Amino acid sequence: MSARNPGMDLDLEWVSKVRVNTQAVLKRAQQIQSVKLAKKQWQAAWLLKAVTCIDLTTLAGDDTHSNVHRLCLKAVQPVPYDLLKSMGMHDRGLTTGAVCVYPSRVADAVKTLKAANSSLPVASVATGFPAGQTPLRVRLEEVRGAVADGAAEIDIVINRTLALTGQWEAMYDEIRQFREACGDAHMKTILAIGELGTYTNVYKASLVSMMAGSDFIKTSTGKESVNATYPVAIVMVRAIRDYFLRTGHKVGFKPAGGIRTAQESLVWLALMKEELGDEWLSPHLFRLGASSLLADIERQIFHYVTGRYPALHELPMA
């Protein structure tokens, strides 16, 4: 991970001045979606770049030790060795960006990765994920517990009620406390944009989260009815850019929820490159929260190498 964002004092004057031009945002999002994407070997290279930015995630009610174990091994070797070998990429140590699990599964993930001799970070959701509606002391305890079990990254959720009612000081104070509870673990702040109402609110919530010391801002939990969309991403990355220009601190971006195809991952990379520049095209500052995306990227890479799509048994889960 890159240098931490230390945050800053809450600047309510900056927050109150925010106005988002919805039509301009929608127009820019359309332009991004119509960008000409790379083909052939360039596309394959971009897809491998996307793999390195994936937070390979399982957040299911029936998660067990064995499926977390499998997920970790997949994260360590996300693309089959023979495919990487034929692309000359087998010795690059290609892994996903992190593994993301519930707090109760952090210890399982840490143990599996240690046994696999991997330094891949474990990310844990916390703070009453996905709704964030448990008491503050319980949310803080959950963060501390996940860090104690070895989580190197914590994906927190904001209290949407505070954002919706414009209680920015209270929201700032909560996130500051979460940041403190994270210690050395990097903090990704989930805005749950599908529940924030307006683009202006999304921008304000992004700013307040960064002022409070978030290392990343993340679109969604993946459990809302609206998840990562390109217009919302434009709003959030513009807030990241403004914060960087004002403070000199780089904050990462993580779209999550509903990102399933290799093609979409290329659009997300194009969006980051065009809006924030090449520096943000690395797992230090960009993550894709996804559970099924990797499977489609593997299919496309298999097709690039062999000229055909794989049969089901040719790309098992692990």
Active site residues: 155, 218, 254
Distance in angstroms (rounded) separating the CA atoms of residues 158 and 189: 7
Two tokens, residue 2: 């890159």
The C-alpha atoms of residue 115 and residue 144 are separated, in whole angstroms, by 24
State how far the alpha carbon of 40 is from the alpha carbons of 37, 250, 271, 304, 307, in Å. 10, 32, 20, 7, 11
CA dist., res. 51 & res. 217, Å (int): 20
* Class of residue 115 by CB neighbours under 10 A (exposed 0-12, middle 13-18, buried 19+): exposed
Helix (H) or strand (E) holding 254: strand 252-254
Starting at the edge strand that comes first in sequence, how are the strands of the sheet with 153-157 ordered? 252-254, 216-218, 186-190, 153-157, 122-125, 98-101, 54-57, 288-290
Separation CA 213–CA 75 (nearest Å): 28
Residue count of the chain: 318
